[in-house]
Amino acid sequence: MTAVEAVPAPGAAGALEVDPLLDDPGTRIVVCCGSGGVGKTTTAAALGLRAAERGRKVVVLTIDPARRLAQSMGIEELDNTPRRVPGIDASAGGELHAMMLDMKRTFDEIVEAHADPERARAILANPFYQSLSAGFAGTQEYMAMEKLGQLRARDEWDLIVVDTPPSRSALDFLDAPKRLGSFLDGRLIRALMAPAKVGGRAGMRFLNAGMSMMTGTLGKLLGGQLLRDVQTFVAAMDTMFGGFRTRADATYRLLQAPGTAFLVVAAPERDALREAAYFVERLAADDMPLQGLVLNRVHGSGAGELSAERALAAAENLDGSGMADRAAGQTGVGGPAATSPEAPAPDSTTEVPPAVAALTAGLLRLHAERMQVLDRERRTRDRFSELHPDVPVTEVPALAEDVHDLKALRAIGTHLAAPRQAR
């Protein structure tokens, strides 16, 4: 497959300039976001590698549990601690580190850091906490925000590249702090905190007297033991709730600040670009600094001058008569040979062996299908650019093989950073 090179979409703000973004010492965070399955992890890894080989000390934080990032970087596995990636070109003085978010371990680290040892042990052993930290809705997105805040606070890396969580909605990452705040400020949590605030038997009398209906209903729905686990958890976590909100708000402001750049990643498909457009609008509404759109897995052809219509006409001609029409301006099959001194006269035809005719017709139909895909992708891209003419765009070609090593990541980085007009 011949890959088409990156090209700015017609009517768009121009090509996305990746190298100036990565080289700028003021750029400290790059967030790759978008819907699932569009190549966010690969894009984040390629950007991190390119930045490191251009002299920056980079850490790539992925939330993708598929471990593709570790494999492509030659690391057996990633965990909650940044690991240095071997094999990069460090001649410019850069370093590349990578890590994969461990949601539960990050939650545990927060508890251990912000609670005294006795309370931390009680929280970590609480059954409700164990369920919450392992899979409560929104916990992964919130913990990604927490880990980003931790990495930035350490000031150890020049650049942090974030691969946002694979979720049903690309907006979950931005909504996580707000959802957590709503959960912590909800009526149920406040009600369960009330006995701990009153204290001792008086607190339990208060709970039993004022909320017996609520707790009775909850006890039937959840079970008495689970309700007691929740109450114990809330009592132990009471002093930490404010810290969660404070850190979440601080990280949210960090995402809005100069030095952060959002890249929306999408495939040239209608649904993916529709969600990308929605995300672009949401980033603007939240004052998040959007840098541009990465259009991934764009198809190309080295024979783009042969249209789908002409290819299909030529295939039908071969199927119908076994003759290749060499007349100028008809099928285009034969190209320059039609005008060469040795070629048949313009109004003549050339008989083709049946096996060759069948093979040629099949190849022409495959080419026609490819050109139809290209046309559909072009229309989809142009529609996005019409709706968002101020968003810079760069395209990355669809590769013949999966990205599985540093060499392939370098190739992706080159396509990201060197958009040129397609031929």
DSSP letters for 139-196: HHHHHHHHHHHHHHHHT--SEEEEE----SSTTHHHHHHHHHHHHHTSHHHHHHHHHH
Ranking 296-300, 324-328, 353-357, 386-390 by mean pLDDT, the lowest is 324-328
CA distances to 34, 264, 297 from 46, rounded to whole Å, are 16, 15, 14
β-bridge pairing 57-62 and 29-33: unpaired
For the record, the structure tokens of 361 come out as 């017709």
Q: Give the span between the Cα atoms of 52 and 325, in whole angstroms.
A: 55
Instruction: Write down the H helix ranges in 322-405.
Output: 354-387
Lowest mean pLDDT among 202-206, 311-315, 375-379: 202-206
pLDDT reported for residue 65: 65
Tokens 């251009």 correspond to what residue? 54
Cβ atoms of residues 234 and 123 within 8 Å: no
The answer on pLDDT for 116 being more than 60 is yes
> How close are the terminal C-alpha atoms of the chain, in Å?
15
Token pair for 90: 């460090």
Q: pLDDT tens digits for 205-226?
A: 544 444 444 444 444 444 556 6
Of 318 and 204, more confident: 318
Size of the chain, expressed as the number of residues it contains: 423
Question: What amino acid is encoded at 57 in this protein?
Answer: K
pLDDT digits (tens, 9 = 90+) for 77-103: 788 889 999 999 999 999 999 998 888
Predicted local confidence at residue 355, as pLDDT: 82
More confident residue, 320 or 48: 48
pLDDT at 421: 39
User: What pLDDT is attached to residue 257?
Assistant: 93
pTM exceeding the 0.85 threshold for the entire prediction: no
> Coil, helix or strand for 263?
strand
List own/partner pairs for 271-275 with CB under 8 A and 24 or more apart.
271/35, 272/34, 272/35, 272/38, 273/380, 273/381, 273/383, 273/384, 275/34, 275/35, 275/170
* Mean pLDDT, rounded, of the chain: 77
